[in-house]
Amino acid sequence: MPTLRRNPITGRWVINPDAKSGRTSSLLEMEKLIGEGICPFCEGNEKYTPPEIFALRGGESEKDGPGWEVRVVPNVSPALNVEPELDRRAERMYDLMNAVGAHEVIIETPQHVANLADLDASQIKKVIDTYKTRILDLKKDQRFRSVFIFKNYGERAGSSPIKHAHSQLIAVSVTPKNLKEELMGAKKYYDYKERCVYCDMIKQELSAKRRIICSNTDFLAVTPFASRFTHEVWILPRKHSADFESMRDAKSQNLASLLKEVLLRLKILLDDPPYNFILHSGPNRTKRRGEAWKTLSEDYHWHIEIMPRYTRIDGFEWGTGLYINATTPEEAAGSLRGVKI
């Protein structure tokens, strides 16, 4: 049984997938397919993936057959499983629970294209719509405290051997450390100022201009003031909103075109760099969580963080959490703005 274990000092959770779950053998099978020149994510090869969870499809097409636009399947080597019991328990001074959750793969296009940056904005819009659908569905399950969408592009960013453009979704029964830090930090700021820290940041960036890469009526792309990585980019909705999945359709279109523009600028400037992106949206709220989450819709602000990964993280950064970034965000924004697209 996969477990979630808690560090008794810092409260950080770690997932231990079940070594006996066949995680490795399924991965090896995928690698074998790739070696034979078969891409399991291409249209027509649906039989090589587990049965689909969801797909955007044309009217006539059938489940697990061709004719889809975006397709969602379970991860063949999931870090978590959808199990019936959370079973929070103690092992003397330690805390653990079953690693209940979902681990899905969003195949972003039926064609064999590697980088999301190379898809049309209209296709990226469909990917965003799929993210929304899956998050809304999973948040119905109150065991799942948070749902993340993320992407590993390129080997250095931890991508799988499958090059075909895809992102992943993980739903977990805990609030992971980094999200908790953001939630708590944003709440502290709100308690003190009665304003959202992200909204204040957006206002300041709009007036300072130096760290803005591009924007449209609904979204802003900036290099954050304390960027951890060279050319790190955040995309934020201009109007306050805690939850990505509550975004209306017209906004999704604007997000798609801004996301495409940012990824394209990064691709051209940095010569197709490996990158990660991660969507930070508000956690799944239930009444019993009470006071702490009460103001959350006012004090948290969803956003996407994009991190090019062409520098290695060394022991100092790992061990301390203090990052060293050789390029100032002002320089980075300047060069990203300067890219001809």
Residue 269: CB minimum distance to a second copy, A:
16
By CB under 8 A, the residues from 309 to 328 that bind a second copy are 312-328
* Size of interface with a second copy, in residues (CB under 8 A): 77
Distance between alpha carbon 255 and the CA centroid of its chain, in Å?
A: 14
By CB under 8 A, the residues from 96 to 155 that bind a second copy are 148, 150-152, 155
Among 106, 170, 259, 263, which residue interacts with a second copy (rule: CB under 8 A)?
Answer: 170
Among 98, 132, 215, 224, which residue interacts with a second copy (rule: CB under 8 A)?
Answer: 224
Among 88, 112, 177, 209, which residue interacts with a second copy (rule: CB under 8 A)?
Answer: 177
By CB under 8 A, tell whether 94 contacts a second copy.
yes
The tokens describing 201, both together, are 């940041």
Partners of 6 in beta bridges: 13, 95
DSSP for 186-242 reads HHHHHHHHSS-HHHHHHHHHHHH-TTEEEE-SSEEEE--TT-SSTT-EEEEESS--S
Distance between alpha carbon 170 and the CA centroid of its chain, in Å?
A: 9
Backbone angles phi, psi at 257, to 5 degrees: -70, -35
Residue 90: CB minimum distance to a second copy, A:
11
Stretch that binds a second copy, among 134-142, 167-175, 215-223, 290-298 (CB under 8 A): 167-175
Residue 1: CB minimum distance to a second copy, A:
11
Residue 308: CB minimum distance to a second copy, A:
12
Using CA atoms, how far apart are residues 86 and 120, in angstroms rounded to an integer? 41
Residue 143: CB minimum distance to a second copy, A:
16
The residues, ordered by sequence, that sit 6+ positions from 156 with a Cβ below 8 Å of its Cβ are 274, 309, 310, 312
Distance between alpha carbon 309 and the CA centroid of its chain, in Å?
A: 15
Nearer to a second copy, 43 or 205 (CB): 205
Among 41, 131, 198, 219, which residue interacts with a second copy (rule: CB under 8 A)?
Answer: 198
Residue 121: CB minimum distance to a second copy, A:
22
Nearer to a second copy, 43 or 304 (CB): 304
By CB under 8 A, the residues from 266 to 295 that bind a second copy are 276-278, 280
- Mapping DSSP onto H, E and C, the string for 4-18 reads EEECCCCCCEEEECC
